[in-house]
């Protein structure tokens, strides 16, 4: 049986950079990113998979960084808010969030942005209701969500070059 | 409805960028500019307390009482001490040797009592979650490993968990020295109550319950204490709303020189009141840093947050209202009871909800016959205290619930009933029968605007038509008042060392930039944006040229920080006055250099100009260069003062009351009891608006927290004092899919107590939303004669009211 403290070699790419570390079996991915790599844009709000503040992308899918062990990401391509900011992939979302004040304390924001990026890529025709549904895995205690929905909606519309979404 | 989103209608009242008219206070007052500090948060480049790494940091975790009330017989940590990476394990007495206990009373809340409280339990634990043993190790994981090995023998005691029973004779007394479990009581009686009720056309009554809930800021409480024994210097990085309050308390309780205590609030991931209190675990982290001479970090995990972050709002209020045949409120009587924790909170006490509920039941209405009582009771539950909109949601739910009942009893539309009962528009300033004075409310205007925004008449028609098809929709209104810009009456006069004033030091930099060091700080509400827009307007530069420095007691002027909706109203005014003073000093200097009259000069877009001609005389960079580098060009007997400090405190009233009204439209599924929120509207009057973008989302965020309390949130305790839903899995918070679009409109009645005229906006949404939801649900249930008054209004409670379960 694996002891939680047993260490394993881990190789993966994080934001397109190859990384190799030896990590304890019990270390979750968000702690790995924060503590080992200093990528503190990934936040921990609950560590039981509800709040979504630790949302990162693994092999193109958004996941809870607190519910995945670092060693489960062996060989994977992991992307964090720092990576998608630097690549410019979410520049339009960041601008829309900024213009509409779709954040206050900013603690949920990296996770929110990654969840929103997933939607605007997969379903840019989403209606307001569908945006609310998709963003419902991410808890924001400061805003009333209204401005977040506004921002995501604006990016959806801009990306499809259409003023209307699904109704 | 979602999908038919409309823009806010009311913001144009003050937003100069929208109506094109220059705001007399300056070009950026009322401008919807994006926050200058938001970009780093959007790029994952924020710096919250847990993001800070100092060399040799040790990590502390806590073993907490699993019992609501128990004697601690023995603590054995021999095995834990041998666990890998362990540095130190301490218990109550070890920490008490460094940190003196505290007592959470305020002298102006007469009779408020509490017992000395220590950072870690001393011999007896009094709530489930109270910290008992602290384990410090090289990493948090190693500390948690060792904590599992600490063995504590407990002798469980009877827990006091019901506020009513706690006052009954024979109840166990949590602090025998205090005599009983009654922490505080206050009564008000204007006289004439019996007569009013005896002569009333109708009397309505109900018992309202609001549930004990918890603020849940997304960033948990976090502290990194760094004591340097060589200098006897304590530096604390903390997720706090109140750096100066913390500095004072750390110095006092650890016996340090105040000048050797520095508190830094980096980015703070939400507060809502959670981060204005003293917590034993945080004080223990500081004690450990002093003991070990190295940095010690404590970050609460979410499970700890549920049982330690101060709870709030768990009231039971029996209330009744007398009303005349014409529809006038002629008397109100109420009896409020709530249970706090085993101690009154420190340093703000746990009785402010009592004060606000007692003061503000009756809200914006002109009735002057009132009898009220409030009682605050110790319980073996988590600590309890100030959370966003302290007491207001309770007072508002009671008042507005009674108002709807009264309107219904006499067959009057609830909107009309409210309108005829508001305090007369000419009656201000208006002293409440309970003491506080409302400077000026705009309730009639706000009401008219709300009905227009909602299209109230059309909604009523829609509701009626749908009801005939078996669709049950409800419309709920809630007029609210909200105290902001507090004076020293809130804390300072009660003996708490919490500033009610704030300050700003403004400096012209060598290249013509402006730095503002201000004693309010940022918890996401937009303080940085407010400071830069106010400073830019007052000096005459672009907001791009403003650098804001906040959240560091070594750097900023002294001040109160963030609580009670005071940042913009108090801190903003200090910034405004500092900006005007700096401008004046610059103009005096330039007048001397250019042989002009200072009164003929102004600053626009960073240039000193002749007002009449608009001609630029000097750029601000020229001014700074001359002052700083070319003393030879400065007249010999003149010293340019290009750094100024100004302070502001609101002294005219206990607080400046804001007001407004909310409307809710929802649908109740009478088969399942589920509530679907369709639309929500708010008209708010927060005086001068600095940035409508910020205000609108503050109000929406407040509404959503209020909706949380109304529909979902409740800390459910067992009879033995166990929190049974202490995780985000079991304690429901509002998520995007359940929330409606929220339209915000404004009326603007600037306060005359400051030049800026700004009042608070952070709590209005929370104050009114639960009442609006409650009234809308009851409106929807009206055809069934069903009625709910106990928050949260879960499907189960609605089905019970309908007699279906």
Q: What is the ipTM of this complex?
A: 0.97
CB of B475 within 8 A of CB of B459?
yes
Beta-carbon pairs below 8 A across chains A and B: 198
Closest approach of A96 to chain B, Cα-based (Å): 10
CB of B276 within 8 A of CB of B104?
no
Interface touch B524/A149, C-beta < 8 Å: no
The answer regarding whether domain A7-84 maps to CATH 3.40.1390.10 reads no
Domain layout of chain A by residue ranges: 7-84, 90-160
Closest approach of A11 to chain B, Cα-based (Å): 22
Interface touch A145/B268, C-beta < 8 Å: no
Q: According to the model, what pLDDT value does residue B18 have?
A: 41
Which residues of chain B, if any, have pLDDT below 50?
A: 1-20
**Chain A CB within 8 Å of residue B153 CB:** no
Q: Considering only CB atoms, which chain A residues are within 8 Å of B50? A: 34, 40, 44
Closest approach of A12 to chain B, Cα-based (Å): 21
CB of B402 within 8 A of CB of B208?
no
Q: Which of residues 678-717 of B touch A (CB under 8 A)?
A: 693-694, 696-705
Closest approach of A102 to chain B, Cα-based (Å): 8
Q: Which residue of B has its CA nearest to A112?
A: B42
Q: Which of residues 14-43 of B touch A (CB under 8 A)?
A: 34-35, 38-39, 41-43
Q: Which of residues 22-61 of A touch B (CB under 8 A)?
A: 24, 26-27, 34, 38-48, 50-51, 53
Report the 3 state secondary structure along chain A: CCCCCCEEEEEEEECCEEEEEEEECCCEHHHHHHHHCCCCCCCCCCCCCCCCCCEEEECCEEEECCCCEHHHHCCCEEECHHHHHHCCCCHHHHHHHHHCCCCCCCCCHHHHHHHHHHHHHHCCCCCHHHHHHHHHHCCCCCCCCHHHHHHHHHHHHHHHCCCCCCC
Q: According to the model, what pLDDT value does residue B58 have?
A: 98
Q: According to the model, what pLDDT value does residue B24 have?
A: 86
Q: Which residue of A has its CA nearest to B49?
A: A40
- Paired strand residues for B156: B70
Closest approach of A22 to chain B, Cα-based (Å): 16
**Chain A CB within 8 Å of residue B764 CB:** no
Which residues of chain A, if any, have pLDDT below 50?
A: none
- Which CATH superfamily does the domain covering A90-160 fall into? [2Fe-2S]-binding domain (1.10.150.120)
The two beta strands, A77-79 and A55-58, are: antiparallel
Asked if the domains at A7-84 and A90-160 fall in one CATH topology, the answer is no
Q: According to the model, what pLDDT value does residue A2 have?
A: 77
Q: Considering only CB atoms, which chain B residues are within 8 Å of A106? A: 38, 41-42, 46, 267, 269, 524
Query: From CA B345, how far away is CA A21, in angstroms rounded?
Result: 45
Q: Which residue of B has its CA nearest to A147?
A: B697
Stated pTM of the model: 0.96
Domains detected in chain B = 49-157+218-270+274-308 (3.90.1170.50), 315-489+652-801 (3.30.365.10), 501-648 (3.30.365.10)
Interface touch B700/A146, C-beta < 8 Å: yes
Interface touch A141/B216, C-beta < 8 Å: yes
CB of B591 within 8 A of CB of B597?
yes
Give B723's DSSP letter.
B
| pLDDT tens-digit map of B339-351 | 999 999 999 999 9
Q: Which of residues 189-248 of B touch A (CB under 8 A)?
A: 215-220
Closest partner CB to B737 (pick from A44, A132, A147): A132
Q: According to the model, what pLDDT value does residue B793 have?
A: 98
Q: According to the model, what pLDDT value does residue B14 have?
A: 37
């Amino acid at each position: 049986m694996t002891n939680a403290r047993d260490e394993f070699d881990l190789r993966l790419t994080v934001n397109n950079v190859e990384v190799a570390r030896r990590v304890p079996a019990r270390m979750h991915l968000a702690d790995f990113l924060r503590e080992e790599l200093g990528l503190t844009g990934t936040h921990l709000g609950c560590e039981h998979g509800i709040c979504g503040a630790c949302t990162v992308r693994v092999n193109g899918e958004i996941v809870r960084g607190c519910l995945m062990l670092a060693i489960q990401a062996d060989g994977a391509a992991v992307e964090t808010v720092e990576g998608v900011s630097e690549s410019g992939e979410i520049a339009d979302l960041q601008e829309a969030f900024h213009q509409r004040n779709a954040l206050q304390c900013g603690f949920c924001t990296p996770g929110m942005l990654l969840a929103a990026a997933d939607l605007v890529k997969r379903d840019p025709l989403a209606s307001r209701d569908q945006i609310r549904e998709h963003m419902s895995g991410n808890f924001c205690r400061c805003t009333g969500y209204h401005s977040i929905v506004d921002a995501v909606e604006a990016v959806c519309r801009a990306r499809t070059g259409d003023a209307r979404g699904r109704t | 409805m979602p999908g038919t989103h409309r823009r806010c209608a009311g913001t144009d009242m003050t937003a100069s960028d929208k109506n094109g008219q220059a705001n007399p206070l300056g070009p950026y007052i009322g401008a919807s500019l994006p926050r200058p500090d938001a970009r780093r948060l959007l790029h994952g480049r924020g710096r919250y307390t847990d993001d800070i790494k100092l060399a040799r940091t040790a990590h502390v975790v806590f073993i907490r009482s699993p019992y609501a009330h128990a004697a601690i017989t023995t603590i054995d940590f021999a095995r834990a001490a041998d666990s890998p990476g362990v540095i130190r394990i301490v218990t109550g007495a070890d920490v008490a040797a460094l940190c003196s206990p505290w007592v959470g009373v305020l002298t102006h809340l007469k009779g408020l009592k509490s017992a000395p409280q220590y950072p870690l339990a001393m011999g007896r634990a009094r709530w489930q979650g109270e910290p008992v043993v602290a384990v410090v190790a090289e990493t948090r994981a190693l500390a948690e490993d060792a904590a599992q090995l600490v063995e504590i023998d407990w002798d469980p005691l009877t827990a006091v968990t019901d506020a009513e029973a706690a006052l009954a004779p024979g109840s166990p007394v949590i602090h025998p020295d205090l005599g009983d479990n009654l922490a505080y009581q206050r009564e008000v009686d204007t006289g004439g109550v019996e007569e009013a009720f005896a002569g009333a056309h109708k009397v309505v009554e109900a018992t309202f319950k609001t549930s004990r809930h918890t603020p849940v800021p997304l960033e948990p409480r976090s502290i990194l204490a760094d004591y340097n024994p060589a200098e006897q210097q304590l530096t604390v990085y903390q997720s706090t709303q109140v750096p100066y309050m913390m500095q004072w308390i750390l110095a006092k309780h650890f016996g340090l020189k105040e000048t050797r205590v520095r508190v830094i609030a980096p980015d703070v991931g939400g507060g809502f009141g959670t981060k204005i209190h003293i917590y034993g675990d945080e004080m223990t982290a500081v004690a450990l840093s002093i003991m070990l001479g190295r940095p010690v970090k404590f970050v609460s995990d979410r499970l700890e947050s549920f049982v330690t972050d101060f709870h709030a709002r768990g009231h039971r209020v029996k209330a009744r209202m007398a009303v005349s045949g014409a529809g006038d409120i002629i008397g109100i009587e109420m009896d409020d009871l709530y249970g706090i924790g085993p101690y009154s909170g420190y340093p703000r006490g746990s009785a402010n909800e009592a004060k606000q509920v007692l003061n503000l039941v009756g809200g914006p209405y002109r009735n002057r016959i009132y009898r009220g009582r409030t009682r605050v009771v110790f319980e073996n539950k988590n600590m309890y205290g100030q959370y966003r909109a302290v007491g207001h949601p309770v007072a508002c739910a009671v008042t507005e619930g009674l108002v709807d009942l009264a309107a219904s009893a006499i067959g009057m539309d609830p909107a009309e009933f409210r309108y005829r009962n508001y305090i007369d528009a000419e009656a201000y300033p208006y002293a409440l029968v309970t003491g506080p004075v409302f400077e000026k409310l705009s309730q009639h205007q706000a009401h008219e605007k709300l009905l227009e925004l909602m299209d109230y008449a059309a909604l009523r028609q829609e509701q009626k038509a749908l009801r005939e098809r078996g669709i049950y929709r409800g419309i709920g209104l809630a007029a609210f008042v909200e105290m902001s810009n507090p004076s020293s009456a809130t804390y300072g006069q009660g003996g708490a060392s919490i500033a009610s004033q704030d300050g700003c030091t403004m400096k012209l930099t060598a290249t013509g930039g402006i730095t503002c060091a201000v004693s309010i700080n940022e918890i996401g509400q937009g303080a940085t944006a407010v400071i830069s827009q106010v400073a830019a307007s007052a000096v005459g530069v672009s907001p791009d040229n403003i650098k804001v420095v906040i959240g560091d007691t070594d750097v900023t002027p002294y001040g109160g920080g963030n609580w009670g909706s005071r940042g913009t109203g108090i801190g903003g005014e200090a910034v405004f006055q500092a900006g005007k003073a700096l401008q004046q000093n610059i103009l005096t200097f330039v007048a001397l250099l250019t042989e002009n009259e200072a009164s003929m000069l102004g600053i626009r877009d960073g240039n000193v100009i002749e007002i009449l001609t608009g001609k630029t005389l000097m750029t601000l960079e020229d001014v700074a260069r001359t002052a700083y580098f070319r003393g030879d060009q400065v007249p010999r007997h003149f010293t340019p003062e290009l750094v100024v400090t100004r302070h502001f405190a609101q002294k005219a009233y206990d607080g400046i009351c804001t007001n407004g009204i909310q409307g809710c439209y929802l649908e109740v599924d009478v088969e399942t009891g589920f509530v679907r929120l369709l639309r929500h509207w708010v008209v708010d009057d927060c005086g001068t608006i600095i940035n409508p973008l910020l205000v609108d989302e503050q109000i929406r965020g407040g509404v959503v927290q209020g909706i949380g309390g109304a529909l979902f949130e409740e800390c459910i305790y067992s009879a033995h004092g166990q929190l049974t839903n202490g995780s985000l899995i079991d304690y429901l918070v509002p998520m995007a899919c359940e929330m409606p679009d929220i339209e915000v409109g404004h009326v603007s009645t600037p306060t005359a107590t400051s030049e800026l005229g700004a009042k608070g906006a952070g709590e209005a949404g929370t104050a009114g939303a639960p009442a609006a939801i409650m009234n809308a649900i009851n409106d929807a249930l009206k055809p069934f004669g069903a009625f709910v008054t106990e928050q949260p209004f879960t499907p189960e409670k609605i089905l019970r009211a309908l007699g279906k379960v």
